[in-house]
Every structure is written in structure tokens, then in C-alpha cells.
Amino acid sequence: GKPNDRWLTGMVTQKRDFGCFVAFRVPGVEGTAQGLVYRTELKGSPDVMDEVKVRVVNIDDSNKISLSMMSSAGAFAPFYDMKDKWVEGIVKNFADFGAFVQVESPEGGTVDGLLPNREISDERIEDPAEVLE
């Protein structure tokens, strides 16, 4: 699902190497829910029983809730509906590991993103400049 900018207050219930679990209440809904804040979405280093502010990033098909302590990237909002779609882009730069490509959203706005070598071709690529224009 699309990122949500609604902040909820929660409490850290478990810490793991990959992130921490946070129990939270949704206003107007009875009971509590629990979600996972992946390590990359943590702000600081919260401990068990710490009160934290989180937002729901995704709820998958098995109702697992992904949370974040980071603000959503509002500038990227026009690009969320483009996931898993083929788009044209302009190659801006090359690196050993891939190419940096500028993509335009149908709603307007551009963003530069990394196109890793493994996503360019099914064949092994040493130099992305040999494959892309």
C-alpha cells in the first residue's frame, strides 16, 4: 500500500537485529496492533518499553504491518503508483554497479534512481554503458 503520513504513538515491545516490534493503538479502533520497524526505518536506538512515534508503511496480504519512524518522502508520492510498471528514463550517469536514471512521473516531477546491473539484463553485465544508451 501507499505510505501513510498519519503518526501513531506506540511502545517498543521487542528488539531484534533486523529492527524492533512496536505495539500501537489506532484511534477509534479497539485493542492494539503490532508492527515491525525495520532497522533502516528506525530513528535513533529505541529500547524496549520506549514510547515512539510511528506511521504505517504497508500491510501485506498476511496482515503483517510494516512501520516507520521516518517521515515519508513526500517528493516521491507521485511515483508510488509506478511500482512494477515499465517506464522510460534518461541515463544520467554510470557506475560499475549500475546506471543512474532520471524518470518522470505521469503526474509531473522527476526523480533520479539507481538501476542496478542485475536489473538491466538477464546476462551478467560488467559495464552498463555497453548496454544502455
Mean pLDDT of the chain: 85
| For residue 59, pLDDT beyond 80 | yes
- pTM as predicted: 0.53
Q: What pLDDT does residue 17 have?
A: 92
Both 43 and 84 in one domain: the answer is no
Residue 111 lies in a domain: yes
Length of the chain, in residues: 133
Here the cell at position 91 is 541515463
Q: Indicate whether 58 belongs to any domain.
A: yes
Task: Give the residue-averaged pLDDT of 98-111.
Answer: 81
Q: 89 with 123, same domain? A: yes
Does residue 97 belong to any structural domain of this protein?
yes
DSSP state letter for 119: H
**Residue 94 sits in the same domain as residue 61:** no
The answer to whether 35 and 24 are in contact (CB under 8 A) is yes
Same domain, yes or no: 79 and 116: yes
Q: Is 60 exceeded by the pLDDT of residue 29?
A: yes
Q: Has residue 37 been placed in a domain?
A: yes
Domain tally, the chain:
2
- Alpha-carbon span 37 to 67, nearest angstrom: 5
Helix residue spans in 17-127 (DSSP H): 117-120
Which CATH number is 56's domain given?
2.40.50.140
Contact 111, 75 (CB under 8 A): yes
Q: Note down the domain range covering 41.
A: 8-68
Q: Name the residue with higher pLDDT: 69 or 81.
A: 69
Q: Residue 36: which residues within 8 A CB-CB, separation 6 or more?
A: 19, 20, 21, 22, 64, 65, 66, 67
Element (H, E) at 129: none
Residue 2 within a domain: no
Considering the domain architecture, whether residues 79 and 45 belong to the same structural domain is answered as no
